[in-house]
């Protein structure tokens, strides 16, 4: 992924009439990394000439992009790729080395939840103090207090000191305060890595509501599921530069490829025992398609190349819809078939043929390849959303699947 995109305005799904909420113009942020840091006067006096010796870390390196008002924009990248530094520049926490970041409206960063929480104070005091720090007035903080507590579901623990809270409870409280903030632009940095599943769902619902309210949301994360589920656009950073920007699914795919050290399809990596080389969709007669009519039988196909001998590998297929719910999954493990023994250099195509009762919409195929007896997370190769298909149809009900069915009416006497 060496493609560098300087501006991405053409990718914006929003029309040109909407003014950008964020304009980043050739922004760079460099950090000086001294070979030795002199923190005391004595050290500085003893080594007067050595202070000039330092390396420059280009955490963010001359990047430009715009974010439209009301957009949900994802920033992804590996650790150290510059995501958080960029976010801090957008938030006005770091001063840029060159270039600048301009924003329209009030900006509120959520870089860490519960900043300024004090363990010796009660939840009640902490909520008010934290809300004021986040930019509310005391009056607003008091008015919204009940709402905060209700959202956090901590009504019974109001007068408990924060040090007696579990970490999960403290996080819930912090998040509930944070979402009360009146900002036009929210900068969110992986704050959702915490909290239990049901609370995470609640957070995402809240994000949906904020998005519906027209807020601009910039979201830094490692969670590609969230990127695909929420973002209108996403940006992949690599070594402080934009590696990809645009469709969140493409960016998520690029992220997975960078993150797992893979090259785009077509190149064989001999260090792996086996790898998935491609995935596609076919009709019953073997024609490759990118869209298909509802009801027409479909084959999910994956091509696998083996680089060493493997007996009885397992092939898994996951088909997910746009809201990222798995609609259909199957595997050779569920159908205990003899998958065979393969030697280095062998290649196979595996097809899962299915009746297609998917509701109209886009679907994403994620194949997985695993050795016999491999546990969860031990796959030989996983490709998130490697290919997609659009199911065409007239009917547009809000359902995930669309089975063949009849409806009859029996009138009671």
Partner 1 sequence: MSVALERQRPHVLGSDLQRFWNLTWTLAATDFKLRFYGSVLGYAWTLARPFLFFGVIYLVFSEIAGLDANVENYGVYILFGLVLFQFFSEATNGCVRCLAVRENLLRKMRFPRLVIPLSVVLTAIFNLAGTLAAALIFAVAAGVYPTWSWLELPVIIVAVGAFATGVGLLLSALFVRYRDVAPIWEVASQMLFYISPILYVTTLVPEQYRDWFLVNPLAVLLTEMRAAVVDTSAPHSWDLVGAAPLLAAGALVVIAVVLGLYVFNRQAPRIAEEL
Q: How far is the CB of 196 from partner 1 (least distance, A)?
A: 23
- Rule CB under 8 A: choose which of 31, 54, 204, 357 binds partner 1: 31
19 binds partner 1 (CB under 8 A): yes
Q: Are 92 and 36 in contact (CB under 8 A)?
A: no
DSSP state of 309: -
354 binds partner 1 (CB under 8 A): no
Q: How far is the CB of 208 from partner 1 (least distance, A)?
A: 21
Q: How far is the CB of 189 from partner 1 (least distance, A)?
A: 9
39 binds partner 1 (CB under 8 A): yes
String marking each residue 181-210 x if it binds partner 1 according to CB under 8 A = ---x--------------------------
Footprint of partner 1 on 136-165 (CB under 8 A)? 137-138
Q: How far is the CB of 174 from partner 1 (least distance, A)?
A: 12
Q: How far is the CB of 119 from partner 1 (least distance, A)?
A: 10
Q: For the chain, state the CA radius of gyration.
A: 26
3-state secondary structure of 139: helix
Q: How far is the CB of 251 from partner 1 (least distance, A)?
A: 24
Q: How far is the CB of 68 from partner 1 (least distance, A)?
A: 12
Structure tokens at 413: 């006497």
Closer residue to partner 1 in complex, CB, 42/335: 42
Closer residue to partner 1 in complex, CB, 81/216: 216
Choose the binding region for partner 1 from 130-138, 294-302, 321-329, 393-401 (rule: CB under 8 A): 130-138
Inter-helix orientation angle 167-178/123-133, to 10°: 40
Inter-helix orientation angle 167-178/145-152, to 10°: 140
Footprint of partner 1 on 44-103 (CB under 8 A)? 44, 69, 88-96, 100-103
Q: How far is the CB of 214 from partner 1 (least distance, A)?
A: 9
Closer residue to partner 1 in complex, CB, 137/341: 137
- Least Cα distance to 60 among 111, 109, 94 occurs for 94
Q: How far is the CB of 223 from partner 1 (least distance, A)?
A: 20
Q: Which residues of 139-161 are buried (b: 16+ CB within 10 A; e: fewer)?
A: eebeebbeebbebbebeebeeee
Q: Are 195 and 145 in contact (CB under 8 A)?
A: no
| Paired strand residues for 389 | 363
DSSP character string of 228-284: HHH-SEEEEEETTEEEEEE-HHHHHHHHHHHHTT-PSTT---TTSSEEEEEEEEEET
CA distances from 282 to 114, 115, 299, 315, 388 (A): 51, 52, 5, 17, 12
Phi, psi of 292, rounded to the nearest 5 degrees: -150, 150
Q: How far is the CB of 398 from partner 1 (least distance, A)?
A: 32
What is the CB neighbour count within 10 angstroms for residue 34? 12
Closer residue to partner 1 in complex, CB, 185/365: 185
Closer residue to partner 1 in complex, CB, 54/357: 54
Q: How far apart are CA 372 and CA 224, in angstroms?
A: 27
Q: How far is the CB of 191 from partner 1 (least distance, A)?
A: 11
Q: Are 210 and 186 in contact (CB under 8 A)?
A: yes
Choose the binding region for partner 1 from 115-123, 306-314, 334-342, 368-376 (rule: CB under 8 A): 115-123
| Paired strand residues for 244 | 236
26 binds partner 1 (CB under 8 A): no
- Rule CB under 8 A: choose which of 121, 273, 278, 382 binds partner 1: 121
112 binds partner 1 (CB under 8 A): yes
Phi, psi of 365, rounded to the nearest 5 degrees: -100, 125
- Rule CB under 8 A: choose which of 40, 166, 271, 406 binds partner 1: 40
Choose the binding region for partner 1 from 120-128, 273-281, 300-308, 325-333 (rule: CB under 8 A): 120-128
Closer residue to partner 1 in complex, CB, 87/234: 87
Distance between alpha carbon 316 and the CA centroid of its chain, in Å?
A: 23
- List contacts with partner 1 (CB under 8 A): 19-20, 23, 31, 39-42, 44, 69, 88-96, 100-105, 107-109, 111-112, 115-116, 118, 120-121, 125, 129, 132-135, 137-138, 184
């Amino acid at each position: 992924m060496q493609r560098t995109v300087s501006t991405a305005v053409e990718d914006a799904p929003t029309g040109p009439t909407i003014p950008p909420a964020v304009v980043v113009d050739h922004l760079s942020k460099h950090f000086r990394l001294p070979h030795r840091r002199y923190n005391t006067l004595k050290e500085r006096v003893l080594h007067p000439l050595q202070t000039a010796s330092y390396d420059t870390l280009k955490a963010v390196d001359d990047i430009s992009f715009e974010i439209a008002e009301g957009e949900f924009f994802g920033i992804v990248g590996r650790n150290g790729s510059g995501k958080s530094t960029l976010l801090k520049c957008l938030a006005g926490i770091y001063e840029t080395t060159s270039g600048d970041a301009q924003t329209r409206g009030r900006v509120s960063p959520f870089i860490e939840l519960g900043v300024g929480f004090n363990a010796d104070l009660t939840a009640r005091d902490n909520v008010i103090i934290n809300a004021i720090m986040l930019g509310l007035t005391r009056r607003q903080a008091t008015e919204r207090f009940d709402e905060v507590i209700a959202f956090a579901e901590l009504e019974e623990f109001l007068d408990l000191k924060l040090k007696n809270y579990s970490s999960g409870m403290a996080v819930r409280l912090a998040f509930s305060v944070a979402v009360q903030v009146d900002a036009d632009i929210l900068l969110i940095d992986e704050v959702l890595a915490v909290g239990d599943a049901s609370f995470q769902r609640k957070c995402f619902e809240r994000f949906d509501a904020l998005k519906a309210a027209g807020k601009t949301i910039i979201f830094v994360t490692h969670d590609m599921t969230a990127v695909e589920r929420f973002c209108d656009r996403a940006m992949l950073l690599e070594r402080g530069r934009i590696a990809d920007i645009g469709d969140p699914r493409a960016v998520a795919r690029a992220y997975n490829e960078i993150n797992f050290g893979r090259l785009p399809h077509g190149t064989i990596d001999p260090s792996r025992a086996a790898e998935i080389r491609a995935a596609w969709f076919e009709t019953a007669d073997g024609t490759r398609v990118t869209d298909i009519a509802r009801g027409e039988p479909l084959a999910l196909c994956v091509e696998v190349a083996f680089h060493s001998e493997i007996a009885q590998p397992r092939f898994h297929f996951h088909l997910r819809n746009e809201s990222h719910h798995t609609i259909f999954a199957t595997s050779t493990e569920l159908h205990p078939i003899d998958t065979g023994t393969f030697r280095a250099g062998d290649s196979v195509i595996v097809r899962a043929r299915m009746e297609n009762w998917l509701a109209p919409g886009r679907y994403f195929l994620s194949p997985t390849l695993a050795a016999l007896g491999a546990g969860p997370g031990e796959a030989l190769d996983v490709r998130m959303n490697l290919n997609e298909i659009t199911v065409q149809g007239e009917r547009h009900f809000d359902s995930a699947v669309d089975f063949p069915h009849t409806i009859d009416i029996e009138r009671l006497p």
